[in-house]
Amino acid sequence: MTDLLPLLQEFHRDKLAMLLRHQAGARLVGQYDANNTYQYIVNREEAQLTWVGTAIRELGGDAADARETPRSAAGKADAAARAIFDEDARDAQAFVDRWRPRIDEMQNARHAKMLR
């Protein structure tokens, strides 16, 4: 249980950074369907961050804040959007690769399911 709070806080920081990158990406992608997809992703991430933040506070901790890192998209609209999508896909896979083994080892089923 003593390792749970730092793990949740680290997950929260990673997920918050991802959310902020997705929000920045959504501002750069003007195509309607793609932007709607970003809004869906952002809403899901906000919900998960709320759950994780609640769990952190229940354990007596604080959920960290983060600052958005600027994103840029070079090239024409379609090429720039594709570059953003590709970068987000790589980042998402890296996030899963980094967190899946740690989550699979968690003893607390409630928290493991929440992080999945």
Per residue in 19-74, pLDDT (tens digit) is: 999 998 888 887 777 778 888 999 999 999 999 999 999 999 998 887 777 777 76
Q: Which residues of 38-61 are buried (b: 16+ CB within 10 A; e: fewer)?
A: beebbeebeebbeebbebbeeeeb
Higher pLDDT, 78 or 89: 89
Query: Would you say residue 116 has pLDDT above 70?
Result: yes
pLDDT score for 70: 74
